[in-house]
């Protein structure tokens, strides 16, 4: 190659590769940093490739396969760059944890360099044709941009902490390369767990088609490794057509059934050899077991007798049916390996267990066909779906037959399959696939159709219509629970999902029935799958392929395979985004090649692979609904759209021959395995190269895996002369899974999945079942696992399955040769394997840290509580009875004076409560002895239903001429229950002062507590040798009753309706009672109610409201703050009036904002004035009661007094009313 003569370019390319290798093998930094540095080095290498490749030296043959052209270039440097470095291989033994990441990085680098080659090819073509020069330049720029973008977005070098085992930041598909299968040129024929490590291994047929070998998945090395002992060879002259991996001899180990044929075109015989696994697990026995041959229509694996052992269904070669024969020509290969004495023959031929087969239509299995062993009538028992071929002189067509499984009667007779339905498949039908497309709990049929020329292909979904799930009513946390019942009548109309028959009566009955969640495994014998291509058939979805992918041709089979080898390409289903609806991967034939030329329409040229996402029709744009098969009367219908976001790694591949799904490394996401044209052959053989595409979409969704074994062993298998092992590699087909789960909207959804329903023609289905759950945090309510046992109870129900886990069911019922009646689902073992993520250790650390933190908080609070209890205990020891304290003060004690601060506080309170009077100084309060008319004993016994609880306080109250009563009322500002004392007559101090607050109707006092919080104080009461230990004062201060009336009306009666007096306070009482019913009612600190008396206090507050409303002074206050309306019978109705309220408050505000008021209370109002004075001048000049008028002082002083006055008034109003009043005054804010 002339392009490699430039030594500088060769050196630059070699240096970049060596640098990447050194970075990966370690330089002391962290693995993610080393991988990131390696990616940078590879980017430089890509730049060197651009300089090395010259368009003039590129031939058309090289452009046809640029990656093959690049391979010898990379092999030009076999000499190591350093003692432990190998260029391009980038082996890094120290990076075991990140090995999968740098291998995927290499795959992206390889793809990027292939893009570079495509770019140079486009440039070379452009130079040969001036007419296409501009197109070539555009392709050159686009290809190079894609190559550099691919390296830039490939974050395989970045080890990431996240949900799940998310290795990369890039959301999309990432080319993972061959993952150890780069040394083979064969094809993957099947999957199976050969060594029982719960990782799926690959069964590969080599390019010579005479050898099949096991390639074991190495989790630590993130790749496949060939097992030399696990290799089988076909007889001379035989070429392998198919490999079925299963436990044929029922010993718990994986065996191989190899189907081969003579490549001669005249051969119509399909030979079969059985290679049994060694007991020690080292490989396969060298001598295969014989089996009768079949026709070229490959037999399918089934469980014909219900003993969990694999049989075959097909047409023996020696008994090829002629046209016109009936279905009885179908035979079974009956498994003979259950009998330990048999060692030469694996199967013998017997009549198929098809009941009344003579009356059934003839069925000659088509070649190729896509028959399946899967549940179709909803009873969790696998049925038969047969694809038949009817040939005539002028034409041929494909038909289908559905045979449902039948259990034996009480006499043990009648077991087998009965014909449920049959009909014609649409013309041009390709391979069929089976899955629950619309998530209604039934298995649907997915298949393509094309015209005679292979063009105008359509993706079809024939929906399976059964009795639907009942209305998603949630009866309990897990519904009704599992059980065995019958179909019940529901209220929800089944609508378009209803089952229908040709008989109107049956149809009406089916539409009125529904299936309960616990009856998921009850058969619906009236199920229907309609393949009729008609606009009136709403149960057949048809989406043109060109509307999905832009290509109208589907690669229905591998056209490059030898003529005798039939390898159909099915529409493989897999839930790549884990939303619960299976998606498709298809391979199409584009009309044009990547270089712009015309592509081969037969499928021997370029191809493209696409992922088709399963989407609800309501989310499809209105302009596209008609093209995608959506109809207006079915908004919840399903369709498909092409996935383009993040699919760059798939778009650049143009030589894909088949595509299927596999979970690489069992990380919980379905990845793609692509089999592509080999780079070292002309493609007209079985040589293929394998490429894995890692799925890095939607890691915030949940999934569930299920695996049912064949019940060969109970737990571990224990051979006589070999170590015990777990029977993971049985590859049991025919199991069914049905489950219900709540979606994010709380709607219960049913879903069904079959396990390994197809094994013929290299179907490449996984031995386990995978289903997404979507973005939900709910448990799987009920999971039903159905087996193929023909017994009374053939399924098991499991409740509360954790998402992101794998369920393994081992239906062991006594082992080899047991009768069906021996045991049942109760003897089956269930195992749940959680899917751990990289974040589990961090979650554990956070959990432990949280627990420790909470424990510390609990300990600290406990210590503080103990200290508080100790203090309370000491107070209780030193406390004295409150009654004895107050009424024994007369024995020689004259008077206790309050501190000066309390005097000024009392003066302020009098100003606030006096309606229309000037400042009234509070007289010195005094204790009253038993000679007074008003005694505390009378107050506590005659006026109140609850005793005052404080026994460590001194009560200071004004002179009371008459007895009174304590009431529990909500505070006007806070709403907290507070003690008030109502005196029926004015006190002497109030009468002397001439206060209008004290009228003939009496007056109201609020009980307040004054306590020194900084120092411990006590009172020494002389004459009785008594000490009041707490040293706090309980002060009764006069309040304006109108504040309480305003608060009650405003807070409790927000509708502002006229009500009678009695109705007004009843409504207030009822509202407060409801509010206090769930709260802890507390009064003043010294009068706090005990826990036991909480309910009694709540009841007291409710009754005290009614008592408060009956007081005459309340009636007077209500008339002042409310609008009054006369009612018949002399009654009056009241409604709160904001105008009257604001008038009262304005009067109080004007008097409180006077200069003389501030001068009378220097320690309260005066201090607040000084602290908030906004000017630099001395504020004390404006705190003296001078003869000058307010007009002589600055406006700042007047405004500050108005603001302080408004804030003080606000402390006696509800917060909302206080805000309204401040707005009324034009004051910006008030606290």
Residue 352, C-beta contacts closer than 8 angstroms, at least 6 positions apart: 304, 313, 327, 328, 330, 331, 332
Quote the pLDDT of residue 1201. 85
Task: Check whether 206 has a pLDDT greater than 70.
Answer: yes
Quote the pLDDT of residue 315. 94
Based on the number of CB atoms within 10 Å of its own CB, is 1009 exposed (0-12), middle (13-18) or buried (19 or more)?
middle
User: β-pairing, 583-589 with 608-616?
Assistant: antiparallel
**pLDDT, tens only, 97-153:** 344 454 555 555 555 555 444 444 444 444 444 333 333 333 334 334 344 434 433
Task: Check whether 1170 has a pLDDT greater than 70.
Answer: yes
Q: Which of 96, 93, 77, 72 is nearest to 17 (CA)?
A: 77
Tokens 């080393």 label which residue? 34
Residue 1130's pLDDT band (cuts 50, 70, 90): confident
Burial 916-926 (b: 16+ CB within 10 A, else e): eeebbebbebb
Task: Return the bridge partners of 446, or none.
Answer: 433, 461
Strands (E), 392-539: 396-406, 416-424, 433-435, 444-449, 458-462, 464-465, 488-489, 513-514, 528-529
Based on the number of CB atoms within 10 Å of its own CB, is 1117 exposed (0-12), middle (13-18) or buried (19 or more)?
buried
Residue 977's pLDDT band (cuts 50, 70, 90): confident
Q: Which of 545, 543, 516, 515 is nearest to 527 (CA)?
A: 515
Residue 931's pLDDT band (cuts 50, 70, 90): very low
Quote the pLDDT of residue 603. 83
Quote the pLDDT of residue 111. 53
Per-residue tokens: 117: 């080659």
Choose the weakest-confidence range: 143-147, 577-581, 1125-1129, 1192-1196.
Answer: 143-147
Phi/psi of residue 406, each to 5°?
A: -125, 130
**pLDDT, tens only, 5-18:** 344 444 444 445 55
Residue 1069, C-beta contacts closer than 8 angstroms, at least 6 positions apart: 1102, 1103, 1105, 1106
Task: Return the bridge partners of 354, or none.
Answer: 417
Mean pLDDT of 364-368: 93
Mean pLDDT of 700-713: 90
Phi/psi of residue 746, each to 5°?
A: 80, 15
Burial 710-742 (b: 16+ CB within 10 A, else e): bbbbeeebebeeeeebbbbbbbbbbbbbbbbbb
Are 146 and 27 in contact by the 8 Å Cβ rule? The answer is no
Q: Which of 1002, 1230, 1214, 1040 is nearest to 1144 (CA)?
A: 1040
- The rounded mean pLDDT for the chain is 74
Phi/psi of residue 279, each to 5°?
A: -65, -30
Per-residue tokens: 1214: 């509800």
Tokens 């193929």 label which residue? 788
Quote the pLDDT of residue 1050. 84
HSE-CB of 42 using CA atoms within 13 angstroms: 33
Are 298 and 565 in contact by the 8 Å Cβ rule? The answer is no
Task: Check whether 311 has a pLDDT greater than 90.
Answer: yes
Counting residues of the chain whose pLDDT is more than 70, the rounded percentage is 66
Are 101 and 156 in contact by the 8 Å Cβ rule? The answer is yes
Quote the pLDDT of residue 684. 53
CA distance 418 to 357: 8
Quote the pLDDT of residue 165. 45
CA distance 148 to 254: 45
Using CA atoms, how far residue 239 sits from 55, 207, 208, 258, 366, in Å, is 42, 10, 8, 10, 21
Tokens 């003839």 label which residue? 362
Phi/psi of residue 1218, each to 5°?
A: -60, -40
CA distance 82 to 1203: 85
Mean pLDDT of 811-828: 70
Mean pLDDT of 667-684: 78
**pLDDT, tens only, 421-453:** 999 999 999 999 999 999 999 999 999 999 999
SS3 of the chain: helix, strand, coil, percent, to 5: 30, 25, 45
Mean pLDDT of 326-347: 77
Quote the pLDDT of residue 806. 92
Query: What DSSP letter does each residue of 220-275 carry, written as one string?
Result: TTTEEEEEEEEEEEPPTT-EEEEEEEE-SSSSSS-EEEEEEE-SSTT---EEEEEE
Query: What totals of helices (H) and strands (E) does the chain contain, helices first?
Result: 23, 51
Instruction: Compute and round to an integer the Cα radius of gyration of the chain.
Output: 45
Q: In what order do the strands lie in the sheet with 953-956?
A: 953-956, 1032-1039, 1003-1010, 977-983, 964-970
Q: In a 3-state reduction of DSSP, which class is residue 316? A: strand
HSE-CB of 983 using CA atoms within 13 angstroms: 30
* Region label for 962, one of left (φ > 0), alpha (ψ between -120 and 50) or beta (otherwise): beta
Mean pLDDT of 980-992: 63
CA distance 570 to 586: 8
Quote the pLDDT of residue 1090. 41
Task: Check whether 64 has a pLDDT greater than 80.
Answer: no
Mean pLDDT of 1132-1138: 87
Per-residue tokens: 333: 């290969």
Are 254 and 247 in contact by the 8 Å Cβ rule? The answer is yes
Task: Return the bridge partners of 613, or none.
Answer: 641
Counting residues of the chain whose pLDDT is more than 90, the rounded percentage is 31
Per-residue tokens: 216: 């074991």
Q: In a 3-state reduction of DSSP, which class is residue 74? A: helix
Quote the pLDDT of residue 1099. 56
Task: Compare 1172 and 422 and report the one with higher pLDDT.
Answer: 422
Cis peptide before 422 (omega within 30 of 0): no
Using alpha carbons only, give the angle 1155, 1160, 1164 rounded to the nearest 5 degrees: 95
Per-residue tokens: 57: 């030296």
Task: Work out whether the CA dihedral 323, 326, 327, 333 comes out positive or negative.
Answer: negative
CA distance 552 to 453: 11
Q: In what order do the strands lie in the sheet with 187-192?
A: 187-192, 201-205, 211-218, 223-233
CA distance 342 to 977: 93
Residue 700's pLDDT band (cuts 50, 70, 90): confident
Query: What DSSP letter does each residue of 36-64 carry, written as one string?
Result: HHHHHHHHHHHHHHHHH--GGG--HHHHH
Q: Which of 201, 175, 205, 176 is nearest to 188 (CA)?
A: 205
Task: Return the bridge partners of 611, or none.
Answer: 585
Per-residue tokens: 651: 């778009």
Task: Check whether 231 has a pLDDT greater than 60.
Answer: yes
Residue 898's pLDDT band (cuts 50, 70, 90): very low
CA distance 440 to 442: 6
DSSP letter at 1087?
A: G
Task: Check whether 640 has a pLDDT greater than 60.
Answer: yes
Per-residue tokens: 106: 């290499």
Task: Return the bridge partners of 423, or none.
Answer: 400
Break the chain into its structural domains and give their ranges: 2-153, 467-526, 706-841, 843-878, 879-1136, 1149-1231
Choose the weakest-confidence range: 421-435, 549-563, 893-907.
Answer: 893-907
Burial 1069-1106 (b: 16+ CB within 10 A, else e): bebbeeebeeeebebbebbebeeeeeeebbebbbebbe
Quote the pLDDT of residue 914. 33
Tokens 């089996």 label which residue? 291
Choose the weakest-confidence range: 105-109, 169-173, 737-741, 1091-1095.
Answer: 1091-1095
Based on the number of CB atoms within 10 Å of its own CB, is 432 exposed (0-12), middle (13-18) or buried (19 or more)?
buried
Residue spans of alpha helices (H) in 1053-1091: 1061-1076
CB count in 10 Å sphere of residue 140: 20
CA distance 693 to 697: 12
Tokens 């005097």 label which residue? 903
Q: In a 3-state reduction of DSSP, which class is residue 1038? A: strand
Q: Which of 354, 357, 328, 361 is nearest to 416 (CA)?
A: 354
Choose the weakest-confidence range: 20-24, 542-546, 645-649.
Answer: 20-24
Tokens 């001379």 label which residue? 236
**pLDDT, tens only, 1041-1063:** 898 888 888 877 766 788 888 88
């Amino acid at each position: 190659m002339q392009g490699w003569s430039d030594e500088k370019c060769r050196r630059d390319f070699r240096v970049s590769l060596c640098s990447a290798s050194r970075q990966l093998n370690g330089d002391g930094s962290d693995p993610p940093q080393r991988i990131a540095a390696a990616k940078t080095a590879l980017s430089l290498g890509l730049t060197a490739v651009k300089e090395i490749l010259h368009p003039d030296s590129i031939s058309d043959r090289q452009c046809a396969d640029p990656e093959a052209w690049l391979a010898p270039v990379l092999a030009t440097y076999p000499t190591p760059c350093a003692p432990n470095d190998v260029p391009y291989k980038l082996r890094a033994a120290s990076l075991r944890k990140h090995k999968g990441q740098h291998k995927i990085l290499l795959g992206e680098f390889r793809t990027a360099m292939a893009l570079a080659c495509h770019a140079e090819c486009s440039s070379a073509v452009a130079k040969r044709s001036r007419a296409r020069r501009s197109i070539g330049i555009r392709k050159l720029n686009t290809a190079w941009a894609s190559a550099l973008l691919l390296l830039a977005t490939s974050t395989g070098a970045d080890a990431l902490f996240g949900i799940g085992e998310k290795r990369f930041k890039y959301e999309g598909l990432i080319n993972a390369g061959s993952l150890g299968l780069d040394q083979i040129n064969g094809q993957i024929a099947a999957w199976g767990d050969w060594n029982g490590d719960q990782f799926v291994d690959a069964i590969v047929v080599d390019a010579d088609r005479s050898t099949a070998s096991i390639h074991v998945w190495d989790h630590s090395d993130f790749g496949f490794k060939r097992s030399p002992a696990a290799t089988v060879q076909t007889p001379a002259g035989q070429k392998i057509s198919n490999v079925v991996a299963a436990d044929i001899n029922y010993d718990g180990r994986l065996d191989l059934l190899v189907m081969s044929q003579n490549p001669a075109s005249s051969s119509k015989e399909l030979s079969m050899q059985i290679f049994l696994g060694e007991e020690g697990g080292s490989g396969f026995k060298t001598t295969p077991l014989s089996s009768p041959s079949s026709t070229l229509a490959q037999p399918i694996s089934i469980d014909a007798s219900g003993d969990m052992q694999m049989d075959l269904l097909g047409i023996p070669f020696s008994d090829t049916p002629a046209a016109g024969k009936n279905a009885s020509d179908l035979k079974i290969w009956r498994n003979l390996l259950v009998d330990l004495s048999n060692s030469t023959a694996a199967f013998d031929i017997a009549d198929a267990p098809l009941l009344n087969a003579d009356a059934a239509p003839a069925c000659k299995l088509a070649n190729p066909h896509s028959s399946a062993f899967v549940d179709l009538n909803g009873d969790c028992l696998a049925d038969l779906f047969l694809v038949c071929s009817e040939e005539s002189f002028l034409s041929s067509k494909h038909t289908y037959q559905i045979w449902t499984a039948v259990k034996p009667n009480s006499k043990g007779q009648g077991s087998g399959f009965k014909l449920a339905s049959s009909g014609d498949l649409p013309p041009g039908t390709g391979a069929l696939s089976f899955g629950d497309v619309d998530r209604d709990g039934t298995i649907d049929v997915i298949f393509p159709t094309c015209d005679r020329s292979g063009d105008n292909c359509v993706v079809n979904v024939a929906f399976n219509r059964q009795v639907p799930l009942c209305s998603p009513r949630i009866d309990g946390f897990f519904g009704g629970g599992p059980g065995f019942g019958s179909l019940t009548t529901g209220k929800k109309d089944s609508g378009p999902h209803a089952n229908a028959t040709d008989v109107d009566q049956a149809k009406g009955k089916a539409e009125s029935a529904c299936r309960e969640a616990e009856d998921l495994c009850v058969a619906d014998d009236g199920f229907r799958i309609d393949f009729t291509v008609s606009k009136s058939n709403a149960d057949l979805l048809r989406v043109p392929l060109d509307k999905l992918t832009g290509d109208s041709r589907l690669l229905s089979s591998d056209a490059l395979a030898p003529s005798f080898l039939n390898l159909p390409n099915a529409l493989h289903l897999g839930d790549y985004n884990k939303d619960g609806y299976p998606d498709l991967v298809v391979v199409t034939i584009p009309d044009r090649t990547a270089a712009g030329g015309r592509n081969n329409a037969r499928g021997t040229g370029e191809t493209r692979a696409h992922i088709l996402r399963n989407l609800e029709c309501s989310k499809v744009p209105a302009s596209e609904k008609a093209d995608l098969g959506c109809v207006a009367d079915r908004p919840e219908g399903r369709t498909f759209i092409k996935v383009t976001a993040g699919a760059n790694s798939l778009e650049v591949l143009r030589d894909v021959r088949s595509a299927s799904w596999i979970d690489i490394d069992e990380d919980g996401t379905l990845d793609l395995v692509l089999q592509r044209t080999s780079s070292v052959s002309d493609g007209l053989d079985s040589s293929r190269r394998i490429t894995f595409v890692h799925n890095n979409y939607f890691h915030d969704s949940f999934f569930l895996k299920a695996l049912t074994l064949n019940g060969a062993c109970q737990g571990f298998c224990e051979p006589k002369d070999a170590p015990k092992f777990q029977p993971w590699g049985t590859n049991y087909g025919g199991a069914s899974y049905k489950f219900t789960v709540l979606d994010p909207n709380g709607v219960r959804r049913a879903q069904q999945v079959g396990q390994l329903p197809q094994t013929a023609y290299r179907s490449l289905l996984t031995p386990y079942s995978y289903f997404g759950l979507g973005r939900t945090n709910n448990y799987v309510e009920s999971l039903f696992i159905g087996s193929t046992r023909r017994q009374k109870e053939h399924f098991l129900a499991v409740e509360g399955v954790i998402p992101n886990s794998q369920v393994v069911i081992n239906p062991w019922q006594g082992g080899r040769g047991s009768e069906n009646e021996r045991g049942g689902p109760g003897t089956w073992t269930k195992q749940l394997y959680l899917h751990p993520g990289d974040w589990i250790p961090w979650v554990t650390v956070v959990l432990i840290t949280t627990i420790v933190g909470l424990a510390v908080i609990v300990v600290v609070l406990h210590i503080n509580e103990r200290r508080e209890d100790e203090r309370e205990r000491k107070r209780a020891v030193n406390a004295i009875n409150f009654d004895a304290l107050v009424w024994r003060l007369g024995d020689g004690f004259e008077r206790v004076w309050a501190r000066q601060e309390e005097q000024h506080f009392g003066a302020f309170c009098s100003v606030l409560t006096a309606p229309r009077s000037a400042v009234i100084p509070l007289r010195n309060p005094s204790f009253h002895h038993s000679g007074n008319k008003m005694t505390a004993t009378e107050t506590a016994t005659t006026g109140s239903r609850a005793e005052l609880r404080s026994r460590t306080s001194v009560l200071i109250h004004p002179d009371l001429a008459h007895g009174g009563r304590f009431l529990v009322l909500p505070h006007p500002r806070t709403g907290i229950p507070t003690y008030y004392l109502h005196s029926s007559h004015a006190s002497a101090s109030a009468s002397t002062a001439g206060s209008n607050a004290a009228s003939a109707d009496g007056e109201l006092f609020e009980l307040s507590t004054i306590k020194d919080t900084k120092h411990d104080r006590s009172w020494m009461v002389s004459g009785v040798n008594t000490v009041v230990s707490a040293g706090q004062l309980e002060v009764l201060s006069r309040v304006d009753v109108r504040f309480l009336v305003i608060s009650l009306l405003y807070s409790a009666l927000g509708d502002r309706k006229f009500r009678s007096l009695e109705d007004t306070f009843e409504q207030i009482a009822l509202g407060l009672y409801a509010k206090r019913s769930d709260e802890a009612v507390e009064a003043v600190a010294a009068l706090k109610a005990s826990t036991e008396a909480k309910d009694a206090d709540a009841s007291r507050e409710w009754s005290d409201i009614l008592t408060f409303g009956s007081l005459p002074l309340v009636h007077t206050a209500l008339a002042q703050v409310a609008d009054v309306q006369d009612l018949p019978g002399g009654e009056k109705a009241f409604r709160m009036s904001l105008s009257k309220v604001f008038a009262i408050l304005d009067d109080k505000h004007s008097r409180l904002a006077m200069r003389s008021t501030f001068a009378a209370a220097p320690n309260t109002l005066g201090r607040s004035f000084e602290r908030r004075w906004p000017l630099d001048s001395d504020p004390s000049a404006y705190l003296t009661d001078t003869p000058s008028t307010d007009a002589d002082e600055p406006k700042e002083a007047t405004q500050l007094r108005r603001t302080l006055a408004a804030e003080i008034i606000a402390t006696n109003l509800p917060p909302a009313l206080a805000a309204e009043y401040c707005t009324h005054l034009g004051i910006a804010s008030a606290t």
